[in-house]
Structure 1
Amino acid sequence: MTPPRSPDATEKPVTQIDWIAKLRHMLQVMAFALGIAMLQYAFMPDKPFGPPLVYSLLIATITWAVIDLGREFFPSSAETGWPKGWAALALVLGAIVLGYMAGTRIADALCQYYGWYPPNAGQQDPAQLRSSILITAIAGIVGSFYFYAVNKSAYLQRKMTEARQHASEARLKLLETQLEPHMLFNTLANLRALIGSDPQRAQVMLDHMIAYLRATLGASLAPTHTLQAEFDRVRDYLALMAVRMGPRLSYALTLPDDLAACPVPTLLLQPLVENCIKHGLEPKIAGGHIAVSAHREGDWLVLDVIDNGVGLASAPGGTGFGVAQVRERLASIYGAASAIELVAASAGGTRATARFALNL
């Protein structure tokens, strides 16, 4: 018994046989054989349809079995699942010869047994024999090439899907690496502003910030976490901002129990909340209120961040970094199954709404 070889990048690793795929291939081959039998009958309508059908099915099925089962015993290319080099050619040609000889012999016996042919009546003259061999050879080569091309196409499709997935993951990671320093910079800038005006509150804010950053940076190491964890991070951030803004900031968070375990991208809501504070509430002398909520609409998860600040028309600097970040991250993860919109709230201020596919 020869020791197993370690597969290289071009060799298909040893796996269990996919019998469902084998059955699908067999049915396709039988349908192809039926088509050949019907084509033969169309050119010879004066002869019964049974014999060409039996010959065609037996030759095709035996040829398929030798190729499709036999190739499992050869080192195969990862691109096609077929043996490489001369082994593939030898397998196909050998299967065609064996399929023709064994299929013809079994079909002769069956036709004689069921009375379709008297003894020796199924023997063909040289011209018919050459025609049968040629049909078998062409059908075998065409069928083999078809399955070879299908396997290679499926392999290339898998590689394209993997490449798109890797590109999306890299793009998402880039967005996350941009988001975390931005969040840290904003928090430190808020702390710096408070140090000069109220050192005691700055000390309290610093304590909150240390606890908040420890939890947030730990959570950001994973691409997703539960919606409950996301709301907890937002609550921590708003508590931190409440130290700085005092009574100018109030907030409410609403998360239904049945959505708490839903996985979502990390740090998804925080850019929207930062956007509300920076562009909505800070420019407003009286400050205002932020409401963060989640609900379900069919197969969609909907997250709302609403403030009653100065509104879109009066916000200095536009909508900022947050909305663009959330939009790109959702597009990278969910594609077309996501959307984000920024509209004027009915009671004044701004409503940011993110929708994406619900994954429970």
Structure 2
Amino acid sequence: MTSALAEWLFAWLPAASRPGALRRLAAVWTIAPAIALVLWGNNTKTHPLDISLVYSFAISTSIWLLSDPMRIRLGAWLRVGPPHFWAFTPRVGLYMLGCSTLGYVLGTLVGDAYAGRSTWDMLSQSPARLLGFWVSGLVFSGLFVLGFYQRAQAEDLKRQATEARLKLLETQLEPHMLFNTLANLRALIQTDPPRAIHMLDRLNDYLRATLKASRTDVASGGHTLADEFARLHDYLELMAVRMGPRLAYSLALPDGLQGHPLPPLLLQPLVENAIRHGLEPQVDGGTVAVSARTEGTGSLVIEVNDTGAGMDTSAPPAAPSDSGFGLAQVRERIACLPGAGRVDVHSAPGQGTRITLTLPLLNPVSPA
């Protein structure tokens, strides 16, 4: 509900900044009644409370609109950028001062229209009082800006810590896959040199794609579902060299989801588990199918299905295994991502395994 409201209100802002803008508006509207009560009490209750409320909401909302969403919209001119569009520069400082002044004027005009009077009459009657109102508006605006800036800094630190944790998980997964592949390659060199050469070529393709992904910032959205499926294709081709006709696979990615951002190396451990622990133990092998789709208006669903040996999910494994390692890492990585994501496992001995990832649906970026 909140996400849909942010999308509707702030469609003219960058997608990643919309939820934050809505949260800050909610904070402004939460404080506005308290400010109205203070002003009403200081004026010895010479006018109805509803007038103070209108002035407070109109002024605070006007200042917020100019200093927050408009600051983001004018990010290129202000020379500030994502994720929070903040910078302590003279240009931004002058802009914020102008926002506070203009927002105060606009909000006062709205309040005057409601109250049926003109605040600007104080220019001749009591200029000092009018100046006091303006200064108090600047002070409140400054406190809001400082609070929002501190929150942005805290979110930056949290995001950096999350990215570092995701990178650490990637470094744990990469050797895991590489060592398994090198062991298979060593065996093929002794028994089937031509297939070993073919496998080495596929490994080279996979490592080239992996190197590219390792240089991609997780938060930038530079790694997409199309990139991840391309890596899965390289990996499955690599496994097909070793397993031959015992391995069949399919990859289904709709065109509309190709540009959807995804953390690198999120799906490969699940596919590796499907092959190593599902298909390889069977004489006839089996099939691995990976697909992506949308569900409703806010969910991305990715499924990894195999027709392998399956497993008993009702009881915990007796000892840690490679399968448990890969699935645990995927769960932990999804827990590090913003939004509510989950991993569901459906399996039974002899009936294969289906792993479903449910992630928030983001605005996809255009595929390269």
Once residues 285 and 139 of structure 1 are traced to their aligned partners in structure 2, the CA distance between those partners, rounded to angstroms, is 82
Once residues 232 and 141 of structure 1 are traced to their aligned partners in structure 2, the CA distance between those partners, rounded to angstroms, is 58
2:335 is aligned with 1:341: no
**How much has 1:142 moved relative to structure 2?**
8.6
**How much has 1:358 moved relative to structure 2?**
1.6
1:95 aligns with: none
Q: Deviations over 1:244-297 (max 9, x none)?
A: 011111111111122122222222211110011111111222211111111110
Once residues 33 and 205 of structure 1 are traced to their aligned partners in structure 2, the CA distance between those partners, rounded to angstroms, is 75
Once residues 328 and 238 of structure 2 are traced to their aligned partners in structure 1, the CA distance between those partners, rounded to angstroms, is 24
Structure 2 CA distance for partners of 1:34 and 1:220, relative to 1, 3 Å: closer
Once residues 358 and 340 of structure 2 are traced to their aligned partners in structure 1, the CA distance between those partners, rounded to angstroms, is 8
2:321 is aligned with 1:302: no
Once residues 189 and 183 of structure 2 are traced to their aligned partners in structure 1, the CA distance between those partners, rounded to angstroms, is 10
**How much has 1:306 moved relative to structure 2?**
0.5
**How much has 1:346 moved relative to structure 2?**
10
Q: Deviations over 1:8-30 (max 9, x none)?
A: xxxxxxxxxxxxx9xx99x9999
**How much has 1:139 moved relative to structure 2?**
9.5
Contact preservation (8 Å) 2:304, 2:356: yes
Runs of 5+ unmatched residues, structure 2: 1-24, 60-87, 94-119
Q: Deviations over 1:293-328 (max 9, x none)?
A: 111102111111111111113999373322222222
Once residues 213 and 139 of structure 1 are traced to their aligned partners in structure 2, the CA distance between those partners, rounded to angstroms, is 64
**How much has 1:153 moved relative to structure 2?**
3.1
Once residues 252 and 209 of structure 2 are traced to their aligned partners in structure 1, the CA distance between those partners, rounded to angstroms, is 21
Structure 2 CA distance for partners of 1:294 and 1:104, relative to 1, 3 Å: closer
Runs of 5+ unmatched residues, structure 1: 1-20, 42-48, 62-77, 83-101, 110-132
Once residues 147 and 351 of structure 2 are traced to their aligned partners in structure 1, the CA distance between those partners, rounded to angstroms, is 55
Structure 2 CA distance for partners of 1:213 and 1:104, relative to 1, 3 Å: closer
2:150 is aligned with 1:156: yes
Contact preservation (8 Å) 1:271, 1:323: yes
Structure 2 CA distance for partners of 1:150 and 1:108, relative to 1, 3 Å: closer
Once residues 245 and 348 of structure 1 are traced to their aligned partners in structure 2, the CA distance between those partners, rounded to angstroms, is 21
Contact preservation (8 Å) 2:312, 2:349: no
**How much has 1:236 moved relative to structure 2?**
1.2
Structure 2 CA distance for partners of 1:282 and 1:262, relative to 1, 3 Å: same
1:286 to 284, 287, 292: 284
Mapping for residues 183-198 of structure 1, pairs under 5 Å: 183-198=177-192
Look at both structures and tell me which one has the larger radius of gyration over its CA atoms: 1
Higher mean displacement: 258-267 or 275-284:
258-267
Q: CA RMSD in A?
A: 4.2
**How much has 1:104 moved relative to structure 2?**
7.4
Contact preservation (8 Å) 1:220, 1:267: no
2:161 is aligned with 1:167: yes
| TM-score with structure 1 setting the length | 0.60
1:206 to 200, 204, 219: 200
Q: Provide the identity percentage.
A: 46
Once residues 28 and 107 of structure 1 are traced to their aligned partners in structure 2, the CA distance between those partners, rounded to angstroms, is 28
Mapping for residues 248-287 of structure 1, pairs under 5 Å: 248-287=246-285
Structure 2 CA distance for partners of 1:221 and 1:165, relative to 1, 3 Å: same
Q: Deviations over 1:19-58 (max 9, x none)?
A: xx9xx99x999946850465354xxxxxxx69xx9xxx9x
Once residues 202 and 359 of structure 2 are traced to their aligned partners in structure 1, the CA distance between those partners, rounded to angstroms, is 32
Structure 2 CA distance for partners of 1:179 and 1:108, relative to 1, 3 Å: closer
Once residues 209 and 227 of structure 1 are traced to their aligned partners in structure 2, the CA distance between those partners, rounded to angstroms, is 21
1:125 aligns with: none
Count of residues in Structure 1 that have an aligned counterpart in Structure 2: 263
2:214 is aligned with 1:220: yes
